[in-house]
Structure 1
Amino acid sequence: MDNERFFGMSRTSRMIAIETGWYERVKKGSIYRYIFDAADFELEEENAGYHVSRRPVIPMEVQRIDDLITAILNEGIELRITPSLQPLREQVLKSTVNFSMIRMRNARQE
């Protein structure tokens, strides 16, 4: 039911939501994707999909990603842009969908 509510209008099961005020930063920003051997990691937080290593690890590869919006869309992820994340946050917290809100401290406070 919750998956239908959040993802029923699209064919994806993953979504990234950003606030309107962050659009230009995402559009112009870059990130680095570090590729590691999965055997070195264990699942720490199933809901958010966080994996950790208990020992130092060296990446097998590092990829710079400059066009973040295109990269998100090419991964089949839905990108939502909203004036405020707070209404979505409240609904997601009451739902059964898996989520990560690791950067919510950067969201507008209403």
Structure 2
Amino acid sequence: MRPEPGQVLHFSEDPTIERFVPHVAPTSKLKESYVWAVDHDRCPDYWFPRACPRAMAWVGPRTTEEDAARIIGAGCGERVHAIEYGWLQAIREVRLYAYRLPADGFAPIGDPPSAVVSTAAVTPLGPPERVGDLFELHEEAGIQLRVLPSLWPFWDEVIASTLEFSGIRLRNARR
């Protein structure tokens, strides 16, 4: 599930959204109101139930072969997503939807950019689309999906490496 040219996506478990209105996310450190979406490259970050903690790492221009082999695995592609065992059932059962939004009016946010945002309300280009099997999406994209008892040992290795990374909803991970 990726956007077409001129589009960005917003993933949600709510299939009834008719208009996205800028708001301050409850967990955001930013005080500005935004509508949040993702581009083609960041879509896989959201192929999960909303509350699911996930640690993600991928090869970037500064990544060493040693770090890629040690953390992602030799011959295992260029990207790995890790979740905890406790989230397997939720990933199997979640009804996740993608809203296609016009890319005009969205700008990258973060350094490096992790999403795109709009400060204006946005109407979807059509009804939401059911995302489908999240395991299958990962397989088709060549993304290794790793299941761990806890994300923290993996996360500590990732953030100390030369890989690029993102952690989402880590506050929900086991301690």
Q: Aligning the two structures, in what range does the TM-score lie when normalised by the shorter sequence?
A: 0.7 to 0.9
The alignment yields a C-alpha RMSD, in angstroms, of: 2.0
The answer for the alignment partner of 2:103 in structure 1 is: 38
The answer for the alignment partner of 1:99 in structure 2 is: 165
Work out the CA distance in 2 between the residues paired with 1:73 and 1:53: 31
**Tell me, what secondary structure is at the counterpart of 1:26?**
helix
Identity level (%):
36
| From 74, 79, 82, the counterpart of 1:9 | 74
The answer for the alignment partner of 2:18 in structure 1 is: none
**Tell me, what secondary structure is at the counterpart of 1:88?**
helix
Gaps of 5+ in 2: 1-63
The answer for the alignment partner of 2:119 in structure 1 is: 54
Work out the CA distance in 2 between the residues paired with 1:25 and 1:73: 18
User: Could you tell me whether the CA contact under 8 Å between 1:48 and 1:98 is conserved in 2?
Assistant: no
Work out the CA distance in 1 between the residues paired with 2:146 and 2:90: 15
Work out the CA distance in 2 between the residues paired with 1:108 and 1:53: 33
The answer for the alignment partner of 1:86 in structure 2 is: 152
Residue 37 of structure 1 deviates from its aligned partner by 2.2
TM-score, scaled relative to structure 1: 0.82
Question: Residue 77 and residue 40 in structure 1: after superposition, are their counterparts in 2 closer, same or farther (change >3 A)?
Answer: farther
Q: How does 1:15-26 map to 2 (within 5 A)?
A: 15-26=80-91
Tell me which protein shows more helix as a share of its residues. 1
Work out the CA distance in 2 between the residues paired with 1:90 and 1:46: 20
Describe the superposition over 1:25-47 as per-residue Cα deviations: whole angstroms up to 9, x where unpaired. Answer: 11111211222222321111244
Higher mean Cα deviation, 83-92 or 64-73? 64-73
| From 143, 153, 157, the counterpart of 1:77 | 143
Residue 53 of structure 1 deviates from its aligned partner by 1.3
| Segments ≥4 residues shifted beyond 6 Å | none
User: Could you tell me whether the CA contact under 8 Å between 1:84 and 1:107 is conserved in 2?
Assistant: yes
Work out the CA distance in 1 between the residues paired with 2:83 and 2:77: 17
Gaps of 5+ in 1: none
